[in-house]
Structure 1
């Protein structure tokens, strides 16, 4: 194989991935007007259904346009020797290989972020605003972008510094030592995400005393679920959309409810959502996801270790020497078919976990309240009730609303 052939393969992978995603989106959009299943007929009234159809179509058109622009920019970057151009800037700034890697990805990351800002702005202040979802101010929007950039610089830059240093110091053992670093970093985020990262963007406060807290505490005690506190996050300062999530494990486990969730649902429905999140803990989904994530990371790093240092990479991107960052950017593209496959497997597993958490809520509380809460949340977010099976298979980490409702109505046979 020559460097030119490798470059053609890289471009081909980019094109095939783009075409695949566009086909899935197009087929999914063709089913926007499918008949709503009888089990979901009560989700929307006529006015809300028309609004949801308009919302889906608007988002599809915008995603198609923004995706084509991003793809065109990415393709031109590679075809016009952008890698060599950025590499030249990095080598002019410093001869230190670690700093070259940081500068190289810093330039690409910064330019990419700047390009994405107008699209994110339009999504937030035009589309989401027009459909009544946006609650964010322009000041908050740009502060979020700045905080995100700084967090990427500190956490991402720090992690990149460490793994580049390990590559230069450990050679063939690079993937093993880097795996240990990623394992420690992943464990740290799992344990402290809600207490360290989330407060940078949102305020979390303990759920105030009252009947809702009494019901949640009573349920958790009944299930033997030890919980020091239940937190409420101020999601309403950005959007009207609601959510809840479970994070951490052991003494660091935490269940967080969005304030919009509390406003949208009845107390019984909130307990049902809470029961679903407790189900994730009781079924050890956090542990399973952590272990699987680390195993996939190990596989990824092992394959990366085999590619790094290949002289064909320098030839493919028309740079003088192959380096860690050149290998990394090529690997990010060439590995995508494998990551697509592992991502599909993780989505299949994730959907299974969601069924298990729903079953736990059904068995320990009441399925009718979880069904009504899911329908309300779908209505309030103008969700697509008729997604195409290809879109579900490739992109959904949760079962569809119809699948979840049918599962929750199913009578146990054992």
Structure 2
């Protein structure tokens, strides 16, 4: 395919993706505010519903601006060949292939993140602050940035080194070897995330002995779930929003509850939330999600192998010669429609899993406490209780609140 055709194809894909995304967002945000559902009348007032809509509209406007900025900047980089120009500048230092690719992506990553800092800062200290969610200090904000850079350099740089080395040494067959490496890395991260990575950003404290822990442990034993590690995470150092998650396999299984979750919910509701999380494990969702993610990675790497040595993609991005890093960038743009479809399928599977985990919690513990917890979470986070069906279909990994309550109640 001619390089000019590829160039305009890349610009067309980016444009259509942007229009598709923003159109769905507009359909979602333009839905009129209805009455407060009867099941929420003790939790959600009309004023609170209006505040929720305002929060969503504010985030939509902000996302439209930031997304538009990124979209226009990417189009400019493609149209004027700036991706290739950066490659030419770096080649003047006499770098070999692997260091060249690592430095190239490092510059793009850090440059992109620096450009995003003012937007992130505004969202955290203006939007989230105005709606009462932000608990982050300026010190924590920039400390997170620095830690994120270091982690990306160490982990991302290592994986990139291995990827480029395999491409240069093995050729197109690199994909299945790197797939194995990526799969092992994904399993490793899932097993050790809460033990190695999470403590870099948050403090995990074992749940104190007492009635809550005894109730949680008793429930876990009743469903045959050997649970030894229940931790409280200091999520309140960044936001007032609450959450809970499950990670690890075997003896490294951990349930992590945000401290804000303990502040906002009754012990009965907390056990119901935990029952939902255990439901994901008992129903095999953790394992299925891992396998699906690994398969998706394999598909992506195989398709990448078909384009990795294309001179035309490098030329389309402004390069004067074939460059692996330019082809990886071009591939990510070409792959985005496939990625969108895969994302929709993954979200559909995730919503199905959430319903199953809710049903597990209802059958093994109780549905009402979980319903009460979902109501509190939704109201306190100003969630959209009436999202557009198409927006849900494309973007929601969890079913909308009213759909979950209908099944629970």
| Alignment match, 2:215 | 215
Say which is worse superposed, 203-212 or 38-47, in terms of deviation.
38-47
| Alignment match, 1:332 | 332
Say which is worse superposed, 36-45 or 367-376, in terms of deviation.
36-45
Contact 2:375 2:401 in 1 (8 A): yes
| Alignment match, 1:69 | 69
Please tell me the root mean square deviation across aligned C-alpha atoms, in Å.
1.1
Aligned equivalents of 1:192 and 1:159: distance in 2? 17
User: How big is the shift at 1:32?
Assistant: 4.8
The 3-state SS of whatever aligns with 1:245 is strand
Aligned equivalents of 2:114 and 2:389: distance in 1? 34
| Alignment match, 1:412 | none
5 Å matches for 1:94-105? 94-105=94-105
Aligned equivalents of 2:33 and 2:57: distance in 1? 10
Aligned equivalents of 1:394 and 1:36: distance in 2? 25
The 3-state SS of whatever aligns with 1:290 is helix
5 Å matches for 1:69-148? 69-148=69-148
Aligned equivalents of 1:213 and 1:240: distance in 2? 23
Aligned equivalents of 2:172 and 2:56: distance in 1? 49
Contact 2:28 2:388 in 1 (8 A): yes
User: How big is the shift at 1:84?
Assistant: 1.2
Aligned equivalents of 1:107 and 1:240: distance in 2? 34
User: How big is the shift at 1:77?
Assistant: 1.5
Contact 2:273 2:373 in 1 (8 A): yes
Contact 1:205 1:232 in 2 (8 A): yes
User: How big is the shift at 1:36?
Assistant: 4.1
| Alignment match, 1:408 | 408
| Alignment match, 2:57 | 57
| Alignment match, 1:271 | 271
| Alignment match, 1:317 | 317
User: How big is the shift at 1:393?
Assistant: 0.6
User: How big is the shift at 1:252?
Assistant: 1.4
| Alignment match, 1:302 | 302
Contact 2:36 2:46 in 1 (8 A): no
Extract unaligned runs of 5+ from structure 2. Answer: none
Aligned equivalents of 1:129 and 1:250: distance in 2? 40
Aligned equivalents of 1:229 and 1:328: distance in 2? 41
Contact 1:32 1:386 in 2 (8 A): no
| Alignment match, 1:392 | 392
| Alignment match, 1:260 | 260
Aligned equivalents of 2:405 and 2:40: distance in 1? 8
Aligned equivalents of 1:376 and 1:314: distance in 2? 51
Say which is worse superposed, 28-37 or 194-203, in terms of deviation.
28-37
**Taking structure 1 as the reference length, what is the TM-score of the superposition?**
0.97
Say which is worse superposed, 204-213 or 308-317, in terms of deviation.
308-317
Extract unaligned runs of 5+ from structure 1. Answer: 410-414
Contact 2:246 2:277 in 1 (8 A): yes
Kindly report structure 1 stretches of 4+ aligned residues shifted beyond 6 Å. none
Aligned equivalents of 1:139 and 1:182: distance in 2? 34
User: How big is the shift at 1:53?
Assistant: 2.0
| Alignment match, 1:161 | 161
Aligned equivalents of 2:301 and 2:12: distance in 1? 23
Aligned equivalents of 1:198 and 1:32: distance in 2? 40
